[in-house]
């Protein structure tokens, strides 16, 4: 008979705590915003880009455990924010956040976390927590910070246990834009900041926002497109009224099956109309669902900037078999065994063999599970934006 999880007494000076739904209590030093937040605990293996991670809407309702021990050492700045909408609710780190040492820093990471309503927990054995997630899956939990060290552990545990979790949850509507927007930002250059998009550029890409990262739109602009961003629930008729040369399906949080209730019918109509499509992450999953495949919750998910993905589909020529090192952030995946005959698998993860890309035969429609825009991460996959935009006309 398995023993109940231990509930250690609160150490002297502990101002933060992580309470897992199974009753495990992990103490540490709180930073950032005070109060408490509930979410799914995951881990991210990236060595850089913690600010981009925390502002990625795909992390909505999640608590990120950073496996890299030194988080916050380059501070924070307004240029490295991926979205102004909800991202991760909190983070768990190994070492205390130190003074920033970077010429681009504007404020300390602790201050940035507080100003953005996110809770941090330092001094945790993140290797042990990561191993726990790998063995047992991503748990639901509550993260809390009280400078006075006042915590009602039974109440926090009850909240963690009563939270429904990400499966079956549509979070795209929570993080999507509410109104249509002409995207104006260009690509970033050191010493110059962000450029400006040319609104007279062609082709015209309509991007459906399920919780998009800004760097995706910048890469579409860099590839030569004019971009119009629309909310997640935009209808087929409203999209077509914008006269798109192609439609982009963005990343986002939550269960793809739940978001698909309203997104899939629109995507099916776009496919029937032979509109070129490109999906990333949740958008990739939406495209797969529209084509007849299914998605499933992963045991621990893929989150980091070091994930090897191999090209396996036809049409790559001499580059078939080439491996890209990619950025990933997803807790659900397309079930490759459910892909219908007209859908080709184009990329697979070399970590676990899971699906990482599809192409629909006879259509200009493809998607990838990973994040080719990086931020943070390697730039091996930037070519996909040129592939999509270059094929429009």
Q: In the numeric block, which tokens belong to residue 42?
A: 């995951």
**Integer Cα distance of 192 and 71 in angstroms:** 26
Tell me whether residue 42 is one of the annotated catalytic residues.
Answer: no
Instruction: Kindly tell me the sign of the dihedral angle through the C-alpha atoms of 98, 19, 282, 184.
Output: negative
Catalytic residue among 52, 82, 86, 373: 373
Tell me whether residue 181 is one of the annotated catalytic residues.
Answer: no
Catalytic residue among 82, 281, 302, 347: 281
Burial classification of residue 335, based on how many CB atoms lie within 10 Å of its CB (0-12 exposed, 13-18 middle, 19 or more buried): middle
**Integer Cα distance of 59 and 138 in angstroms:** 13
Tell me whether residue 371 is one of the annotated catalytic residues.
Answer: yes
Instruction: Kindly tell me the sign of the dihedral angle through the C-alpha atoms of 78, 80, 83, 86.
Output: negative
Catalogue the E-assigned strands of 201-273.
204-209, 226-231, 246-249
What number of H helices and E strands is found in the chain? Answer: 10, 19
3-state class (DSSP) for residue 359: strand
Q: Cα Rg for the chain, rounded, in angstroms?
A: 21
* Nearest partner of 220 among 185, 193, 255, 253, judged by Cα: 185
Whether 334 contacts 53, CB under 8 Å: no
Please give the positions annotated as active site.
281, 371, 373
């Amino acid at each position: 008979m398995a023993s109940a999880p231990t509930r250690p007494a609160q150490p002297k000076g502990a101002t933060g705590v992580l309470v897992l739904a199974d009753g495990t209590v992990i103490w540490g030093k709180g930073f950032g915003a005070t109060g408490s937040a509930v979410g799914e605990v995951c881990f991210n293996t990236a060595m850089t880009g913690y600010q981009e991670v925390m502002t990625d809407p795909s992390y909505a309702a999640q608590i990120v455990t950073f496996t890299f021990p030194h988080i916050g050492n380059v501070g924070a700045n307004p240029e490295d924010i991926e979205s102004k909408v909800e991202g991760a609710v909190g983070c768990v780190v190994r070492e205390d956040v130190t003074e920033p040492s970077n010429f681009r820093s504007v404020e300390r990471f602790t201050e940035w976390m507080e100003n953005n309503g996110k809770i941090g927990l330092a001094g945790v054995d993140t290797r042990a927590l990561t191993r726990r997630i790998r063995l047992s899956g991503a748990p639901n939990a509550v993260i809390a910070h009280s400078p006075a060290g006042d915590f009602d552990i039974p109440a926090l545990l009850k909240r963690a246990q009563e939270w429904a979790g990400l499966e079956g949850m549509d979070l795209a509507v929570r993080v999507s834009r509410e109104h249509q927007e002409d995207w104006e930002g260009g690509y970033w250059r050191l010493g110059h900041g962000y450029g400006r998009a040319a609104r007279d550029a062609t082709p015209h890409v309509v991007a459906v926002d399920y919780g998009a990262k800004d760097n995706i739109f910048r890469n579409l602009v860099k590839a030569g497109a004019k971009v119009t961003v629309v909310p997640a629930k935009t209808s087929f008729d409203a999209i077509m009224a914008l006269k798109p040369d192609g439609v982009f399906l963005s990343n986002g949080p939550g269960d793809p099956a739940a978001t698909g209730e309203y997104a899939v019918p629109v995507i099916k109509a776009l496919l029937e109309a032979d509109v070129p499509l490109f999906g990333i992450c949740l958008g990739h999953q939406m495209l797969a669902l529209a084509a007849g495949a299914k998605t499933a919750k992963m045991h621990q998910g893929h989150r980091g900037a070091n994930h090897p993905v191999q090209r396996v589909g036809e049409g790559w020529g001499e580059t078939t078999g080439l491996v890209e090192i990619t950025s990933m952030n997803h807790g659900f995946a397309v079930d490759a065994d459910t892909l219908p005959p007209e859908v080709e698998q184009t990329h697979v993860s070399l970590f676990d063999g899971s699906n990482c890309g599809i192409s629909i035969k006879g259509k200009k429609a493809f998607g990838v599970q990973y994040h080719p825009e990086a931020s943070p991460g390697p730039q091996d996959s930037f070519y996909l934006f040129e592939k999509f935009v270059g094929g429009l006309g």
